[in-house]
Amino acid sequence: MKRIPILIFLFAIAISSCTKEDTELRLPDFTTPSIKGYYQRDFHGLSMGIVGNPNVRLGNGTDYTNSTYYFVTYPNPSSDNVLFIYVKAPTDHEKKLVWITPAYWDNQGSNYIINKDNYIIIGGHPYIQAEFTSDHLMIDVSLVPQGYYRIYLKVNDHLLYDNIVIN
């Protein structure tokens, strides 16, 4: 009986020690995201084509021009041990959080279009995570195993994501 108050006290300390900063990268679902396609981009970020039907959210508008927040990851597929991120935001020095989770290719979804707003899985265990304030970031992916990944970008209250391939 003497242990119950101690356990309650320790539990209260554990809960209160989690700050908002600690919980920002916790995802609501730790299942592996399913990707249905990706945008191919060269080493300069220029479009080279589309594979499948990408279930991504690159901006808060319909495209780069109509978005106040937008991001691009390149090259995709990444085969040079680096991945670059460019972020369009209203101000240059906003805090940005980025994390990469493993994903799997959904063969059944690659041949037809799905309303991407109804088919979003925000999950997976973060493999790489970083915080930055500039509009560019370079990530070393030389130690990342080959495969499919989803990269998330959180800036202000906007959560954007892209599907990437690492070769």
Residue 138, domain CATH: 2.60.40.3080
Domain that holds residue 116: 26-166
Q: Is residue 68 part of a domain?
A: yes
pLDDT of residue 103: 92
- For the residues 124-146, what does the mean pLDDT come to? 85
Number of domains into which the chain is organized: 1
* Residue 9 within a domain: no
For the segment 43-54, the average pLDDT, to the nearest whole number, is 94
Residue ranges of the alpha helices (H) in 18-125? 20-23
Residue 58 contacts by C-beta under 8 Å, 6 or more apart in sequence? Answer: 64, 67, 70, 71, 72, 160, 162
Q: Which of 1-5, 131-135, 139-143, 157-161 has the lowest mean pLDDT?
A: 1-5
CA 150 – CA 131 distance, rounded (Å): 17
In a domain, 115, yes or no: yes
pLDDT class of 106 with cuts at 50, 70, 90: confident
Question: What is the per-residue pLDDT for 43?
Answer: 93
Tell me the pLDDT tens digit for each residue of 55-81.
Answer: 999 999 988 989 999 999 999 999 889
98-132: burial string, b at 16+ Cβ within 10 Å, e else: bbbbbbebbeebeeeeeeeeeeebebbeebbeeeb
| Residue with more model confidence, 111 or 164 | 164
Say if 2 falls within a structural domain.
no
Report yes or no on 14 lying in a domain. Answer: no
Instruction: Answer whether residue 80 is part of any domain.
Output: yes
